[in-house]
A and B are shown apart, each in its own frame.
Chain A
Amino acid sequence: MSELLGLADQAVALPLAVTFESFTDVGFWTGVGVIAGTYTLVALGLQLNVGFTGIVNFGQAGFMAVGAYTMAILVLQVGLSFWLALPAAVLVAMAFGLIVGLPSLRLRADYFAIATLAMAEIVRLTAQNARGLTGGNQGIFCEGASCYDDSWISVSGTITGWLESLGWSDPETLFPLLLVVWTTAGIAAVLLHLAQGSPWGRVLRAIREDEDAARALGKNTLLYKLQSLAISALLGALAGFFVALNLATLHPKDFEPLVTFIGYGVLVLGGLASYWGVALGAILMWTVLEATRFVELPISDEREAAVRFMIVGIVLILLMVFRPQGMFGKREEMVLGD
């Protein structure tokens, strides 16, 4: 069952063994919060692309994989320090975004969507098959002496120390990660929000509304779309880091197209053209997905996984049919036309 919503199952299984006991388990909700924060980052990138630039990027899982795997490989095989590997991996992911975008952003929207999806799948298949580099289907495990997340674990320990000195006797293991992921997401949202009000952000909107008109005004629209995609790749790489730190393993299955599609579910749930909506969408989506674990259904685990998967689909369909602008989106900002 972990195959479908693998991310959730593994992540939540890690911090506590007795998730089903109570709805009020702090550890359980810490786990949910980390995933929601990670998906906020994923969907912030999608918001910039889809909501504000009008380019339908279906390759976010690929950017996450490039970021996470590059970081792990730089630390484990090149011997770079974790703190250098992070920015290096971000740069690699952004460069990858440019390489992908340069030929494909000239294409019509539907072709671009398919091209980015294919690109993400190539990344995942490479992670699966380039065994020497990525561990293939075994993944990169963090067992034994040293791993890519050693530096993080010491930082996490420091934060735990602070929490204890504040009077929390036994803080949750994942709580430091929760703080860092939401701080990152918050900073990203504020920066994106500021950028949206700048002349640069207005050009992106102009491209979304009418690319020909923007071009007629002398704007190099391809350049702006490339920047939008590269920033999305940056956010994807950050989300990839948090997947890697959360699970303490890297596996091709964590970067299936499903991740991107759940990101779209989060995006349209929160609403198009709203950065704050994305965060609320992520929290709501994962609360619903995880809360279904508490509902005692007379069905097997496998069927419960199928039900959760179905919820994502139904959410997408119902929203797009009845409220395409999402919960907090602005209808007048929604250019969903062709």
Chain B
Amino acid sequence: MEAGTAVPSPRAGGLAPVAELGRRRPAAAALLMLAIAVVAMVAARGLHDVAQTGLNGLSLGSVYALGAVGLTLVYGTLRLVNFAHGDFLTFGVYMAYLVNVTWEAPLAVAIVWAVAMTAALGVLFERTLWGPMRARRAGFLQLILISIGLAFVIRSSVQYVWGTEVRLLDVNVVDSVELLGLRIGQTELVVIVIGFAVLIVTGLMLRYSLLGKRMRALADNFELAETAGIDTSRVVLHTWVLAGGLAGLAGVLAGAVTNVKPELGFELLLPIFAAVILGGIGDAFGALAGGMVLGLMIEWSTLFIEARWKVAVGFVVLILVLVVRPQGIFGRARAI
């Protein structure tokens, strides 16, 4: 709690009011900066291009946001930096592949199956690994290395069964929809719709349901929550169900718009970390917004630099946020 400490230093001169706004209303300041950036981009590259790449950004952002919510919730409640989270996405997409391609069932069934199985995987590891390790009061390095080991085990198991071959889900990759002069692939549109619907429901659930309040209570102070009579082990299990389920969904959506391969999840892990940190680590709403903002920034970056660099853009954003504002764009210093 002590070290994070990067209280933004007051900037001199004309930027002072902005810095002041950033301190008092970080979300408003972030929105303001985003709006300024959009206006500048429209001026430079035209409304159509900005809107078109923005649409792509929303589909990428849905995947990031879904992955980021689970990762940040697990961190918030358990203080666990889960490097295996990316491979939860991989597990999810292969579960969907099994149902959708091998068993030739519709994608909707595959999604439900993938979400259920990935949630079950989260619970399985909580019961066999994370719970016992918490009981032993395992340290930070121990937990982080276990999660890396787990990531290897999940990915290599997937690779053992399905091989390294790049596969495709049975989705429509040809047809596209025309919308206000913008073109979007049918599958991408479905991804955006599902992603947004699930994110909104998750957000409402975290905000208003008893479970959501309990999760936040645990994130605030685990011992205090326990003393207050909250059944913490139950809440922890629910956290894993939610984190696993959302990760599974994120994996399927990512696989639907790109392809299915064992590295899918690991390649998404760092951008998801970036989304988590952008939103303030441990803050579920921040992760939602962080994922969307990151998706948009990455796609908008292709207006100015070659698209092959766009993965690196995500990492540069991650490092810049860590350096300039480690509590996240929406967070307050208290959060870390």
Contacts and interface: CB of A to CB of B under 8 A. Distances in A.
A310 to B, nearest CB: 4
Interface in B96-154: 129, 133, 138-146, 148-153
Nearest to B317: A118
Contact of B141 (A56, A107, A121, A211): A56
Interface in A85-122: 103-104, 106-111, 113-115, 117-119, 121-122
Interface stretch (B197-205, B292-300, B319-327): B319-327
Contacts of B312: 121-122, 125-126, 129
Interface stretch (A37-45, A173-181, A314-322): A314-322
Nearest to A319: B145
B64 interface: no
Interface stretch (A64-72, A153-161, A300-308): A300-308
Interface stretch (B3-11, B16-24, B173-181, B210-218): B3-11
- Interface size class for chain B? 35 or more
Task: Specify the main secondary structure of chain B where it touches its partner.
Answer: helix
Interface core residue of B129, B152, B309, B336 (most chain A CB under 10 Å): B152
B153 A336 contact: no
A66 to B, nearest CB: 15
Interface in A244-292: 257, 261, 264, 268
A110 B81 contact: yes
B163 interface: yes
A309 B141 contact: no
B318 A268 contact: no
Given A56-B144, A264-B148, A268-B145, A117 B270 contact: yes
Given A118-B270, A317-B153, A310 B140 contact: no
B155 interface: yes
Contacts of A109: 140
Given A117-B270, A118-B315, A122-B315, A110 B156 contact: no
A50 B277 contact: no
A200 B17 CA distance: 45
B35 interface: no
A98 to B, nearest CB: 14
Contacts, number: 149
B315 A121 contact: yes
Interface in B1-40: 2-6
B127 to A, nearest CB: 14
B270 A337 contact: no
A316 B156 contact: no
B334 interface: no
B157 A108 contact: no
A34 to B, nearest CB: 24
A56 to B, nearest CB: 6
Given A121-B270, A129-B308, A315 B149 contact: yes
Nearest to B148: A261
Given A118-B315, A264-B145, A316-B148, A108 B323 contact: no
5 contacts: A110-B144, A113-B81, A257-B266, A302-B163, A324-B141
Interface of B: 2-6, 79, 81, 129, 133, 138-146, 148-153, 155-157, 159-160, 163-164, 266, 270, 273-274, 277, 281, 306, 308-309, 311-312, 315-316, 318-319, 322-323, 326, 336
Interface of A: 1, 3-4, 50, 56, 103-104, 106-111, 113-115, 117-119, 121-122, 125-126, 129, 211-212, 257, 261, 264, 268, 302-303, 305-307, 309-310, 312-317, 319-321, 324, 335-338
